[in-house]
Amino acid sequence: MRPYQVATAAVIVLIAAVAMFDSRAAFSPSAGTAPGDVGARWYPFWAAGIMGVASVVVAYRALTTPQGDEGAFEGSRSLFAVLKLAVPMLIYAVLIAGIKWRTTDFTYTVLPSFGFYLSTALYMGLFAWWLGRYVAARESSANESRRSS
């Protein structure tokens, strides 16, 4: 049994239940503004429902699957693997919004907002280059094809 996975799944089920309760108006007859429109609460209800069902599956698997002898984060390689995902996501969030603060007289901008599209392009490029080794794989295949000619 993995108690932390079960507890995390239980919290996510609770969050999903609250979101489903909050968006229960998705089933009201006047949900949308146009004929056939499902309204703005339809997607959050079903997204929360899917999230809740997936969390129940994770909790069931964590309860029934035997746990390995070694932990999930053994050594520095596993910590680095988590950081390879977490640090770029944090930078991505900062690039979307920028870094600025406002006083009563001025707004100070340390890093301007890059916006969603430019930040996404940078993040995907970093992901392909650093995590996917896309550039290195492409170059090595080009070098191999030159050698065989």
Each residue's pLDDT tens digit, 1-31: 678 888 899 999 999 999 988 887 766 665 5
Each residue's pLDDT tens digit, 33-57: 666 666 667 788 889 999 999 999 9
The reported pLDDT for the residue numbered 59 is 92
What are the percentages of helix, strand and coil residues in the chain, rounded to 5? 70, 5, 25
Contact status, residue 55 vs residue 16, Cβ threshold 8 Å:
yes
The reported pLDDT for the residue numbered 12 is 93
Each residue's pLDDT tens digit, 71-90: 666 777 777 878 878 888 88
φ/ψ of residue 101, rounded to 5: -145, 155
Question: Model's pTM, two decimal places?
Answer: 0.51
The reported pLDDT for the residue numbered 147 is 63
Q: How far apart (Å, rounded) are the C-alpha atoms in residues 149 and 138?
A: 17
The reported pLDDT for the residue numbered 48 is 92
The encoded tokens of residue 145 equal 């094809």
